[in-house]
Copies of this chain bind each other. A is one copy, B any other.
Amino acid sequence: MELIKNHAGRLVPDEVNGVKSIPFMGVNGYKPTGTKIAKSVRSCVDFPLDGNKVVSSLKEALVNSGIKDGMTISTHHHLRNGDILTNYLFDIISELGIKGIRWFPSASFPCHSHLIPYLDDGTIHHIEGSMNGPLGRYTTEGNMSGMGVLRSHGGRYQSIQDGEVEIDIAVIAAPTADPFGNANGVNGPSACGPLGFALADSEYAHKVIVVTDNLVPFPCYPWHIQGNNVDYVVKIDSLGDASKIVSGTTEVTKSPDRLLIAQYVADFIEKAGILKDGFSFQAGAGGTNLAFALYLKEKMIKQGIKARFIRGGSTKYLVQMLEEGLTDYILDGQTFDLEGVRSMRENPGHINTSPFTSYNFHGKGNFASIIDAVVLGATEVDVNFNANVVSHSDGYLLHGIGGWQNCLYSKCTILAIPSFRDRIPVIVDEVTTLCGPGELVDVIVTERGIAINPLRTDLLEATAGSGLPIRTILEIQAEVNNICGGKPAKPRVDKTKPVAVIKWVDGTILDTVFKVIPQK
């Protein structure tokens, strides 16, 4: 393994976990030439005619699926920090004495720190998937046997579809399922909303196991996961802790600085001419983003403007907009609170989407680039508008990419960020980890002003004389550095020891996370 400089000037390994890798070639620079993975043709002859695929335990399903050392096992993260199933799954795998598993979750959460002993003892060789919190820390400190691979939601779909990652066994937590394997996330005690993060797994894994705590008679409808792709169904007592799967309620920020940022974002969207009948936007579930959505809502009501669609992750605030007729549709990939789940169950205009639909870059287009404006966060941005969303300035990998990279393709990508956190400036000379190339980041909104990417002369012109606090990014950076007493310290990392890589949406390697050298 050697480190080479990619198109973005970042050092990346030419080989990841023994497989030759393709370095980032620039936004839209890489053109795939191969074919999608060709899965074995299966036959109804090998499946029960009465459609009953239920087996007595997850262990039995794993054994029937031929589990063995070195396999790739996938899970989804719709149960978020309430997921019990994944920990239970690896308890069984450990009990079976299986080693060297590549765990391929759509993301991992603090609850999965339960798996650290299995990383230590070799049950799990490495993780490919976003690592939030403890597992990220574990990885950054160089404890994982293999190299972590972080992908966006769309990149994960792409990697499966293209055969870059072959899943041997997909274990799909299903809040409701029938014996045939049809499954959804909107009903049952562990309801989580959609199940889109498991769609690719169900379509392309060699064996697919659906695990549910709410088995209903055929047909389970809606079928977010189609039973025609499922090998085994398992009933267990509980998939997870409902209170941690979705929050009972999501709340708007109360911080004056964050509220100011939210107001600026809404004002920008208005003044730039984006706010008009039939427009579309996406806002996440963070406190600032929720506040932004409320400010925008006020403007929409005042001006009699209706959106054609809003992209989730949904919350009660977006649901209210749908139910009040302020948008025709919510196109939703995950629901963050109980109201989101209820709405997806009840409102025909609250539509289940998947990473295939929304984000897969290796398709014939996707939804992400159709959206008029998207408001995202970041841990760091640099003076060239490059952004980081996975690591902090101390070098630690603590967050996943999610749909963030995919969303950068929107018609106007806005990063709404405080100018500093814990007295550490957020605007830096060079991001610790490059997740989003600057040419796709259009606007940075802080409580100290709005910086527009010089590439977007159209936005600069549209907002000239608007009264918005438009400044250059260098001006804002200088002011913040002054307040914080200088630039953030460079992280202390071992540049010969890559511990994880960041993939771009096309499967090429955008950047590397290096081993952090603990402070003495």
Number of copies of this protein chain within its complex: 2
A365 touches B47 (CB 8 A): yes
Q: Which residue of B lies closest to A28 (CB)?
A: B45
Contacts A36-B39, A36-B41, A42-B362; is A226 near B49 (CB within 8 Å)? no
Decide yes or no whether A367 CB sits under 8 A from chain B: yes
Decide yes or no whether A53 CB sits under 8 A from chain B: yes
Q: Which residue of B lies closest to A40 (CB)?
A: B35
Q: Bin chain A's interface residue count.
A: 35 or more
B53 touches A365 (CB 8 A): yes
Q: State the CA gap A357–B219 with chains docked (Å).
A: 11
B43 touches A31 (CB 8 A): yes
Contacts A45-B31, A48-B365; is A308 near B217 (CB within 8 Å)? yes
A308 cross-chain contacts in B, Cβ below 8 A: 217-219
A364 cross-chain contacts in B, Cβ below 8 A: 42, 44, 46-47, 53, 181, 208, 227-231
B365 touches A227 (CB 8 A): yes
Decide yes or no whether A506 CB sits under 8 A from chain B: yes
Secondary structure type dominating chain A contacts? loop
Decide yes or no whether A356 CB sits under 8 A from chain B: yes
Expressed in whole angstroms, the minimum distance between the Cβ of A134 and any Cβ of chain B is: 35
Q: State the CA gap A356–B203 with chains docked (Å).
A: 12
A365 touches B51 (CB 8 A): yes
A411 touches B50 (CB 8 A): yes
A38 touches B35 (CB 8 A): yes
0/1 per residue, A78-102, Cβ < 8 Å to B? 0000000000000000000000000
Q: State the CA gap A42–B349 with chains docked (Å).
A: 30
A38 touches B37 (CB 8 A): yes
Q: State the CA gap A411–B278 with chains docked (Å).
A: 50
* Nearest 3 Cβ contacts at the A-B interface: A35-B38, A38-B38, A47-B365
A53-B365, A219-B329 are known contacts; what are 14 more A-B pairs with Cβ within 8 Å? Answer: A31-B43, A34-B41, A35-B39, A36-B39, A37-B38, A42-B364, A47-B365, A48-B365, A50-B369, A50-B411, A217-B278, A217-B308, A219-B351, A227-B364
